[in-house]
Amino acid sequence: MVKLNKIYTRTGDDGSTGLVDGSRLAKHAPRMEAIGAVDEANSALGLAAAALTDSEHAEALYRIQNDLFDLGADLATPAGPDADFAPGEMELRLISAQVEWLERAIDALNTRLEPLTSFVLPGGSEAAARLHVARASVRRAERSVTALAETAPTNPQALAYVNRLSDYLFVLARIANDDGSRDVTWIPGKNR
């Protein structure tokens, strides 16, 4: 259980921050860049959820927001080179079931959509536009997580999760555009 009774600690005034294992690193380190990008994506998801009047889709986004906190905890728990990334007593790790839930959700939503014949511009309805902003934020988080994975052992399920999440948000944005009928499509060279 998390208990926060004091919001400021002053321990980060030197430009460092603490990780789950008690170690400290610079706030601008690749691990912290990844954690921060996931936090920003989570905030964008909250904004998107506020625009959805369909409670089923808003509830799905709230579920995903919780998963993104799990992802932040996973990233904040450094692992050794031989780590198996299984959840432990003191290690919260993303697991394949979380990735598989996203895949099932994508497949279910996609059955309502006609195949694309062009790329989709990020817009349409307000809800779709907010979902596209969240999708772009997730893509940035994915770049940060993959950059971390080049320098430190990183849970493969974390990498898969952020990759699937951007796909989910793309499909959900199309759903928010009246099942794709209000998608704004790219017309190559239209304004030449």
Q: Give me the percent of the chain exceeding a pLDDT of 70.
A: 94
* pLDDT exceeds 90 at position 46: yes
Q: Give me the percent of the chain exceeding a pLDDT of 90.
A: 74
Q: In terms of DSSP H, where are the helices of the chain?
A: 30-51, 55-75, 96-110, 126-151, 156-176
Helix (H) or strand (E) holding 24: strand 24-26
Average pLDDT over residues 155-159: 96
CATH of domain 26-78+93-113+120-184: 1.20.1200.10
Per-residue model confidence as pLDDT tens digits over 7-38:
777 767 777 777 787 778 878 999 999 999 99
The answer to whether residues 109 and 175 touch, using CB atoms and an 8 Å cutoff, is: yes
Please, what is the average pLDDT of the chain? 91
Q: Residue for token digits 């008690």? A: 22
Pairing label, strands 16-18, 184-185: unpaired
